[in-house]
Amino acid sequence: MGTKVRAKVLQALLFACPHCRADRQGALVSLRRWFTLFFLPVIPLGELGRAVRCDTCRNSFDPAVLELPTGAGVAQVRSDAVRVLAALLVGAGDRTALALRASAVRTIGSLVAGYDDATLTTDLEVLDPAQAPQYVAPLADGLDLGSKERFLAELTTVAGAAGPPTPAQRQLLEQIGAALGLTPAHVAGVIATSAPGGAR
């Protein structure tokens, strides 16, 4: 007679493993002590707690690790944000400019399969510029500084595809930069170096 701790899998999940430093398959497990008779668990003696176990490194972590954004999660949020913001930047410029539309379709199409000019037209009808910050906000925590700069630079390049950004485009880019947590000076620097003509 004795006791033994067994882990019961409650849910398989994808999480950002702190040990592997990557997205990993794992499981949320319930740790329970069992009363054993002849080494066979026969009576559950109560839950000791929960843990998240990594299928790759086999380490267990406090369930608080589930609050860390996964790389895949951030990438999805980023794609959604690029789609919405690039379309809004077309709307804030001359939406009949072919070079501007083509640049937005090319940038979004590299992330969203099948995105074309007709999809852009639909996006322009349904999107509201007031929604921009809500798409950017999750990236303020999810992206590092260099990734934020590249994100803003990519969108500035779209905005400037048919000439220098219009005041409305510039205002939107500044809003995006602020929502990313960049300072106004930093945003101005990124815009100046990514817009056509380079730093002016």
Give the interface with Zn ion as residue ranges (CB under 5 A).
Answer: 17, 19-20, 24, 54, 56-57
Between CA 156 and CA 198 the distance in angstroms is 11
Least distance between Zn ion and beta carbon 13 (Å): 13
Long-range CB contact pairs, 5-14, < 8 A, 24+: 5/31, 5/32, 5/33, 5/34, 5/48, 6/31, 6/32, 6/34, 6/41, 7/31, 7/32, 7/51, 7/53, 8/32, 10/50, 13/52, 13/66, 14/70, 14/72
Between CA 72 and CA 83 the distance in angstroms is 17
Nearest to Zn ion of 19, 150 (CB atom): 19
Nearest to Zn ion of 24, 148 (CB atom): 24
Between CA 168 and CA 43 the distance in angstroms is 68
The rounded Cα 5 to chain-centroid distance in angstroms is: 37
Least distance between Zn ion and beta carbon 20 (Å): 3
Nearest to Zn ion of 54, 158 (CB atom): 54
Nearest to Zn ion of 27, 85 (CB atom): 27
Least distance between Zn ion and beta carbon 25 (Å): 9
Least distance between Zn ion and beta carbon 51 (Å): 13
Nearest to Zn ion of 74, 86 (CB atom): 74
Least distance between Zn ion and beta carbon 78 (Å): 23
